[in-house]
Structure 1
Amino acid sequence: MTALPDPSALPLFPLQTVLFPEGLLSLKVFEARYLDLVSRSLRTQHPFGVVALRQGHEVRRPGEAVAFEAVGCLAELIEVDSEQAGILQVRCRGSQRFRILSTRQGEDGLWWAEVQWLAPDAAVLPQKEHLASAQALANAIRMLRQRGPLPFLEPFHFDDAGWIANRWCEILPIPLVARQRLMELDDPQVRLKLVDQFLRSKGIIGGP
């Protein structure tokens, strides 16, 4: 993991998605403010913050009100390609979660935040009653691998309750706000328990 950036001035990339720790995020960057953000991140080797939008759009619209969630996740650059002039194809890895304390918007439209770092998930084994969720995720990954590029980064951690829960949260058909609330949970066992309940309710895994 790269060094944490200055918590008093974290550049933000608001998106209509939720980034989880160890998650994979692919971006097509073309707005000047975000091209500058990516260039700065490459130069300084510092991650930037990804936050989910509650109001507004990813592409800047003059006069539009923008609101985003209070908890986000740092994004570390792992790959940047420029196949067309003025457009960057970017792949990022989610790392540290943070809570926004205050925000300001620069003249170029880029949002900045003062943040508080949140503790990472404790690395804990999934409880016995949730092992079926781990096995079902392994099965899902085998199926996804046959269809094309995986939406997950390796290595896999099937012995980590938080990692299992986060990967399910990324691919399950749940509303954005529900995905956000799951990401915010401090206890990875509780997050996996809720995911397990959802999987059983949809018949993805057996049992009550």
Structure 2
Amino acid sequence: MRTEMTNLIILENWLLPKGRLELRITQTEVLQLIARHFKHGERIALGVQSSEGSFLPCMRHAVDVQVVDFFQLDDESLSFVFEGVQRLKVCETHPVSESLWQAKVRRLPDWPEQGLEKEFKVLSRALEYFYQTNPDISELYSHVHLEDANWVSQRWLEVLPIIDQDKLHLVNQPDCSEAMSFVLKMIIEQQIQ
């Protein structure tokens, strides 16, 4: 498979395709990158910070993103809303600055479309409740896709406190089936406790 170069911002948060994440940006080089993204379509990817002992500064999973909105905050800084576009595999990285990297990546195929089976409808209802109780997250979305198993499972993977290696394993699967089963088991276990 062909590799390509992209700009990479490394975070503690996970973002997956069709997910949204709001970030307050203050670093000059990242603000300049976002300006080039708007003007010339320069690519940006978000990666997840790696645990110690890895030769890469991020997990091997990243996501190609687009900036879909921005706001000026009370302190005059800017906040940007990023939306995940496509999964990427990070092959190698090179630092540009303290907060920005260049990465050689390979595009990964999207999970195939999958309807929400009856046994997983509880995950959709639970996600809807999660958004009602977390309006700061739900306000990022103009429309939620609670009938789409891919969308529901990826939103859960973004917010659930799962160790990064488990998330990495789940997002590297060929479809969302294992992620849906994992999230369902986790939610059922939480209700029992």
- Of 81, 102, 107, the match for 1:112: 102
- Of 17, 21, 26, the match for 1:25: 21
Q: Which digits, 9 at most, give the CA deviation of each residue in 1:171-193, with x for residues without a partner?
A: 32333443343333331121111
Alignment of 1:122-137 (within 5 A): 122-137=112-127
What TM-score, normalized to structure 2?
0.83
Q: Which residue of 1 aligns with 2:91?
A: 101
CA contact (8 A) 2:17 2:83 kept: yes
User: Are 2:44 and 1:48 equivalent residues in the alignment?
Assistant: yes
- Give distance in 2, aligned partners of 1:108 and 1:130: 42
Extract structure 1 runs of 4+ deviating beyond 6 A: none
- Give distance in 1, aligned partners of 2:27 and 2:97: 14
- Of 147, 156, 181, the match for 1:168: 156
Paired AA for residue 67 in structure 1: P
Residues matched between the structures, number: 188
Q: Which digits, 9 at most, give the CA deviation of each residue in 1:104-124, with x for residues without a partner?
A: 223686311121111112110
Which ranges in structure 2 are unaligned for 5 or more consecutive residues?
Answer: none
Cα 1:45–1:37, aligned 2, differ >3 Å: closer, same or farther? same
CA contact (8 A) 1:17 1:176 kept: no
Shift of 1:48: 0.6
Paired AA for residue 127 in structure 1: E
CA contact (8 A) 2:13 2:158 kept: no
Paired AA for residue 156 in structure 1: V
Seq. identity, %: 20
Moved more, 103-112 or 88-97: 103-112
What TM-score, normalized to structure 1?
0.78
Moved more, 70-79 or 27-36: 27-36
Which ranges in structure 1 are unaligned for 5 or more consecutive residues?
Answer: 1-5, 57-64
- Give distance in 2, aligned partners of 1:112 and 1:137: 35
Q: Which residue of 2 aligns with 1:8?
A: 4
- Give distance in 2, aligned partners of 1:143 and 1:107: 37
User: Are 2:190 and 1:194 equivalent residues in the alignment?
Assistant: no
User: Are 2:155 and 1:159 equivalent residues in the alignment?
Assistant: no
Q: Which residue of 2 aligns with 1:59?
A: none
Cα 1:135–1:176, aligned 2, differ >3 Å: closer, same or farther? same
Cα 1:108–1:144, aligned 2, differ >3 Å: closer, same or farther? closer
- Give distance in 2, aligned partners of 1:24 and 1:91: 7
- Give distance in 2, aligned partners of 1:34 and 1:182: 30
Question: What is the alpha-carbon root mean square deviation over aligned residues?
Answer: 2.7
